[in-house]
Amino acid sequence: MPRASAAEVLAALAPVIDRRGVRWYVFGAQAVMVYGQPRLSDDVDVTVEVAPVDLRALVDDAVAAGFAEELPDDDEFLAVTRVVPLRHRATNIPVDMVLAGPGLEELFLDRAAPCDLGGVTVPVIAPEHLVVTKILAGRDKDLADAGGVVARQGDTLDGEEVRSLLRDLESALGQSDLVAAFEALLAD
C-alpha cells in the first residue's frame, strides 16, 4: 500500500488525467507495492497516452491542480526522455509523467487494471508488465522489485507472457540477458 502522501499525489493527479480522457497507468514503486514487496519511494511514476498537441493542456491542468512543472527549458529533454517531470506542491513529491509510445506501452495501457492505492482507485500496470519494465531497467533495486513481484504473485503470474515480451525486447535491443534474468528470479 502506498504511503499516505503518495496517495495524496494520486488523488490530485487522477482527476486531472481522467478529465482529459486519456488512458494512463501507475508503474514503478507504487505498482511494486500493489504486486510485490513494500518499499519506500520518493516519487510517483505514471505513463499517459496523450497526443503531442494535447500535452500542454494536460500539464497546465496539472499545474492548476497543485503541481509544479519542472520541465527544463530545453525542448530536447522532452524529445529524448519522453518524461514530463512534475512536483506535487503540497507534499513535495516528484511525479514522472512518461509519454506513452506505440507498441509495448500500448499493450501495457490495454492491460492496466484499476487498483485501490491508499483510498484512490487508479489504473495500475499489470504485474507481468511491471516485471518486464523492472528487468529492462536492470538496476539492483529494480531486479529486487521484480523478484518481489514474482515471489508474491507466484503461480498467478503469466510467466510465458513475461518471457515472450522479454524475448521481443532482446531481439529489438540486441540483448540476450533479459529472459535469463527472469529465469534467475524464478529460481530464487
Q: Which amino acid is at 6?
A: A
Mean pLDDT of 87-111: 93
Burial 34-59 (b: 16+ CB within 10 A, else e): bbbeeeebebbbbbbbbeeeebeebb
Q: Is the pLDDT of residue 153 over 50?
A: yes
| pLDDT at 74 (0 to 100) | 62
**What pLDDT, in 10s, does the model give residues 135-145?**
999 999 999 99
* Domain spans, the chain: 1-125, 126-188
Q: Residue 13, SS3?
A: helix
Question: Can you tell me the mean pLDDT for 169-180?
Answer: 95
HEC-encoded secondary structure of 27-82: ECHHHHHHHCCCCCCCCEEEEECCCHHHHHHHHHHHHHCCEEECCCCCHHHHHHHC
Q: Are 23 and 113 in contact (CB under 8 A)?
A: no
Given a cut of 60, is residue 154 above it in pLDDT? yes
CATH number for region 1-125: 3.30.460.40
Across the range 111-132, mean pLDDT stands at 95
Q: What is the C-alpha separation between 172 and 118, in angstroms, rounded? A: 37
Of the given ranges (46-50, 62-66, 67-71, 84-88), which has the lowest mean pLDDT?
A: 67-71
Per residue in 100-114, pLDDT (tens digit) is 988 899 999 999 999
Q: Does the pLDDT of residue 76 top 90, yes or no?
A: no
- Predicted local distance difference test score (pLDDT) of residue 80: 74
